[in-house]
A = this chain, B = another copy of it.
Amino acid sequence: MTTDKQLRQRGERVFPGGMYGHMSTYRLMPEGYPQYFRKADGCRLWDVEDNEYIDYMCSYGPMLLGYNHPLIREAADRQRNQIDIGNGPAEVIVELAEKFISQVSHADWAIFAKNGNDSTTIAMMCARAKAHKSVILVAHGAYHGSQPWTNRTAPGSAQSEHDAFITYRFNDIESLEAAVQRSNGALAGIMVSAFKHDAGKPQQLTDPAFAHRVRELCDKHDAALILDDVRAGLRLSTDTSWSALGVQPDISAWGKAIANGEPLAGVLGSESYRDAMASVFVTGSFWYQAAPMAAAIKTLSIVNENEIPKMLEGLGQKLRDGLYKQAQRHGFGIVQSGPVQMPTIMFEDDKEFTRGKDFCSQLIKEGIYFHPWHNMFLSAAHTDADIDQTLDATDRVLARLS
């Protein structure tokens, strides 16, 4: 058996810094977390040393209905046996677009791509093409991908690449209005996340008054309301995540869960943005790949037929309630934030996540994969028994920590 340590050592030679991006367990996660995985099934992951985990990250979102889901795998394989890539798309691209559009109330058209990065970028380009203006408002600290334009402070982007972006504070109407002012007549769009899910901070649900004000300002300035639903999409609603607020975006960006882990992202748009989108040239070698589209069709069917967002709400509430009681019993101040389907779990007065990391480090030994400072994800493959097993583990760990 190749150990995780051996693979990390080999990885150190071939990957800058040992690994890259959000899966740099090395740099990002506490002691005891595995870097490499060998097997995935249902809501469970096995690392290369065969340690088994109940997974509350779901690959950072893409897994929605369970790893290795037989019906989705079957749909993808059936498509692969016919055609996956070609000199044009397969029939499934039309079927998927029709199905997705009929499900999402603001949507009249679709574009498919591979990653959330692609979707947010396409959405932004569409907004600019419609407005013939270039300024996009983005929330301070929000994550919309790792392109140069989204990567404000990181090395690799040019200062001038950020000139067309102005930041506002999420849920803060005054700051939003000031940002619109600063855009000085050049506003093309306002980009919003489904809710405030910045890494390293407690999450904030969207204030309905804020959402309505975003809509008003977009209407007033003929700018696009771009909803980045990449992370939250299909977990809170079968429609967009802002549908419950009664606010419709003009363009919504999707990714992660829409094909239950097959690589697919998408942009949905309203009728008035159709011509603008047609004028923008965006493409990628693998954007037309048919197997992930077949997987997405099946995923959307299952999500709708089984009211998956509601089911996840039940599971997430059970986890939240259980943790709340345990924290009280063991004398911990625990901060559970965000929608229960995508919980962030932190400790009070724990700015450096010292206690949170300790909690997670002990949980990982118990076979529970939590994250100390990023939102987690529930899936439809989690059962009541899995939540119970998780709560048994958190109870033991909190008892030890207290």
Contact = CB atoms under 8 A, between A and B. Distances in A.
A286 B62 contact: yes
A209 to B, nearest CB: 30
A16 B60 contact: no
Interface string A268-312: 010000111111111111111100000000000000000000000
A103 interface: no
A111 interface: yes
Interface string A135-155: 100000000011111010011
Interface in A1-25: 2, 7, 10-11, 13-17, 19-23, 25
Interface string A82-97: 1111111111011001
Contacts of A39: 82-83
Contact of A16 (B145, B149, B278, B285): B278
A115 interface: yes
A266 to B, nearest CB: 11
A48 interface: yes
Given A94-B10, A285-B59, A16 B277 contact: yes
Contacts of A111: 15-16, 20
Given A87-B369, A148-B125, A14 B94 contact: yes
B285 A110 contact: no
A134 interface: yes
B114 A85 contact: no
B97 A158 contact: no
Interface in A51-98: 55, 57, 59-63, 67-68, 73, 80-91, 93-94, 97-98
B60 A87 contact: yes
Query: Which of A2, A21, A88 has the most B CB atoms < 10 Å from its CB?
Result: A88
Interface residues of A, number: 108
Contact of A61 (B117, B263, B275, B285): B285
A274 B13 CA distance: 10
- How many copies of the shown chain assemble into the complex? 2
B284 A114 contact: yes
Contacts of A115: 114, 118, 284-287
Nearest to A107: B14
Contact of A154 (B67, B281, B286): B281
Interface stretch (A160-168, A190-198, A337-345, A380-388): A160-168
A147 B121 contact: yes
Contact of A94 (B7, B57, B63, B148): B7
Contact of A283 (B22, B135, B261): B22
Interface stretch (A30-38, A242-250, A353-361): A30-38
Nearest to A263: B286
Contacts of A274: 16
Given A263-B263, A285-B256, A87 B55 contact: yes
A128 interface: yes
B98 A121 contact: no
A79 B135 CA distance: 44
12 contacts: A10-B94, A23-B283, A23-B288, A36-B90, A37-B87, A40-B83, A48-B91, A59-B87, A87-B369, A146-B283, A155-B276, A161-B161
Given A15-B111, A128-B155, 20 more contacts: A11-B94, A14-B98, A15-B109, A16-B109, A16-B275, A16-B277, A16-B278, A17-B277, A37-B90, A38-B90, A67-B83, A114-B114, A115-B284, A124-B156, A134-B160, A135-B158, A147-B147, A160-B163, A160-B164, A161-B161
